[in-house]
Structure 1
Amino acid sequence: MAALRARTVLLTGSNRGIGLELVKQLLGGPRPPAWIFATCRDPEGPRAQELRDLASRHPNLVLVKLDVANPSAIADAAKIVEGKLNGAGLNLLINNAGIYAQVSLETVDSDEMIRTYKTNAVGPLLMAQTFLPLLKKAAQNSTEKGLSCSKAAIINISTVMGSIEKTPESFCKPVISYRCSKAALNMLTKCQALTYGEAGILCVALHPGWVKTDMGTQEADLTVDTSVRGLLSVLPVLSEKHSGNLLNWEGKVIPW
């Protein structure tokens, strides 16, 4: 399996589930990044205890307070990251933070739709905008040809539930606000790929599978460990031919 060679990585939603497991497996890899910026809304709270324990043992892991639905919080986080990088760029931005509510067409309301869009679609948009200078710097400083996660990349953690074509297969769980926000995230990924590719930045949406997390519940097919191992095996092989696509945790293309 190819190893991820990104030297600087930022992950949102890092205190539980897939985000936390990504941090653990990146730290335990054969060549851990020089810096891992793990963000969550409350790094000092009880739900971030495991992250704090990891940070106490790994000096390359930096915990950063961040709410992706809050533009000023994103700007504050960017200043912290830029300060730590000390002139270096950011190789890999993983937009993992997301929210999910069991709402149907009959029960969803405007507040729920807006709340979910702010986190699942607008958050990744603002993260990319704010961290773009650091991503561009990483791309400019790289000697690698083409596009890759080792050079500069935005990875949006999406879902097959954002695929319009695949909706009939999974509509037993309507989750309207989640589906619509992730379809918007998929469109955002395509637009980012067409725009940021010129600056040497790869943009891909990844579906981690149906995972046994708070969001996925214990009914899910995959363990968090299996999903994240899959994602980390896909990241190193991504190139310009994948930019703008939605892929699953095994690297297979999911139709829009």
Structure 2
Amino acid sequence: MAGLNLHSVLVTGANQEIGLELIKQLLGSSNPPEWVFAACQDPAGERMQELQNLTAKHPNLVMVALEVTAPASIKAAAARVEAHLKGSGLNLPVNNAGIQKLNRLESETPEDMALVYVTNVTGPLLVSQAFLPLLKQAAQGSPQTGLSCSKAAIVNMSSEAGSIQNLYLWHLGQVISFCCSKAALNMLTKCQSLGYGGDWILNVTVHPGWVQTDMGNSDSIHAWKG
């Protein structure tokens, strides 16, 4: 975080796990953004207390309702963020929200495949589309040259599970829909880099490594596998 110089950043899935920790790191940095938008399904729902406490302490933190599988919710979130930014643009949306279903190859279902794909791939696509005008504003208004997260960038939270060469989750329980969705997310990011690079918007995927979360809990995966 130390090398970033951000005016504004938005994180989806911000109420727990990796998303919540990103919010904490941004707020606690030596040069915090002027605006940090914590996007989550229901800001007034369960498991929101910690994020609500942070909002009370940090006037630059704004909670935004955003359901990545609902286009209307995404558009409403973009409009609210735009109202806060007042023409300055959004530097950095982090597409962090994601889900997984613990299914093997022989037990995978169309319903789970569709739900995981729409959350992990279509969601980041729609979020990026909705916030693209604000990203272009940030890029055009930045004095920096080249591509940079401090200028304008889309960060998609991927996983090594999406690697076709190194499919390590196969030995931990397969997790078919999650692996397929992250491979597709990697391709989406490549397409975004080709489509948005001309507007000086950086597009990257991030593999955070194995993180001890509800989704990435090794004990739960091994228990399910065994």
Q: CA RMSD in A?
A: 1.2
| Secondary structure in 2 matching 1:10 | strand
Instruction: Tell me the distance in 2 between the aligned counterparts of 1:50 and 1:35.
Output: 18
Q: Is the 8 A contact 2:169 2:175 kept in 1?
A: no
Structure 2 partner of 1:28: 28
Structure 2 partner of 1:4: 4
Q: Is the 8 A contact 2:139 2:151 kept in 1?
A: yes
Structure 2 partner of 1:64: 64
Structure 2 partner of 1:171: 170
Instruction: Tell me the distance in 2 between the aligned counterparts of 1:80 and 1:127.
Output: 13
Q: Is the 8 A contact 2:128 2:154 kept in 1?
A: yes
Code of the residue aligned with 1:35 in structure 2: it is W
Code of the residue aligned with 1:95 in structure 2: it is N
Structure 2 partner of 1:131: 131
| Secondary structure in 1 matching 2:48 | helix
How far apart are residue 170 of structure 1 and its match?
Answer: 3.3
Code of the residue aligned with 2:109 in structure 1: it is D
Q: Is the 8 A contact 2:2 2:29 kept in 1?
A: no
TM-score (norm 2): 0.94
Structure 2 unmatched ranges of 5 or more: 221-226
Code of the residue aligned with 2:83 in structure 1: it is G
| Aligned structure 1 segments of 4 or more residues deviating by more than 3 angstroms | none
Identity fraction in percent: 56
Matched residue count: 219
Equivalent runs, 1:97-246 vs 2, <5 Å: 97-167=97-167, 169-172=168-171, 173-217=173-217, 219=219
Structure 2 partner of 1:238: none
Structure 2 partner of 1:223: none
Instruction: Tell me the distance in 2 between the aligned counterparts of 1:90 and 1:43.
Output: 21
Code of the residue aligned with 1:194 in structure 2: it is L
Code of the residue aligned with 1:182 in structure 2: it is K
Instruction: Tell me the distance in 1 between the aligned counterparts of 2:14 and 2:186.
Output: 21
Code of the residue aligned with 2:157 in structure 1: it is I
Instruction: Tell me the distance in 1 between the aligned counterparts of 2:214 and 2:2.
Output: 30
Instruction: Tell me the distance in 1 between the aligned counterparts of 2:175 and 2:115.
Output: 14
TM-score (norm 1): 0.84
| Secondary structure in 1 matching 2:64 | strand
How far apart are residue 4 of structure 1 and its match?
Answer: 1.3
Structure 1 partner of 2:16: 16
CA displacement 1:36-77 (0-9 Å, x = unmatched):
000110110121111000000100000001110100100010
Structure 1 unmatched ranges of 5 or more: 221-256
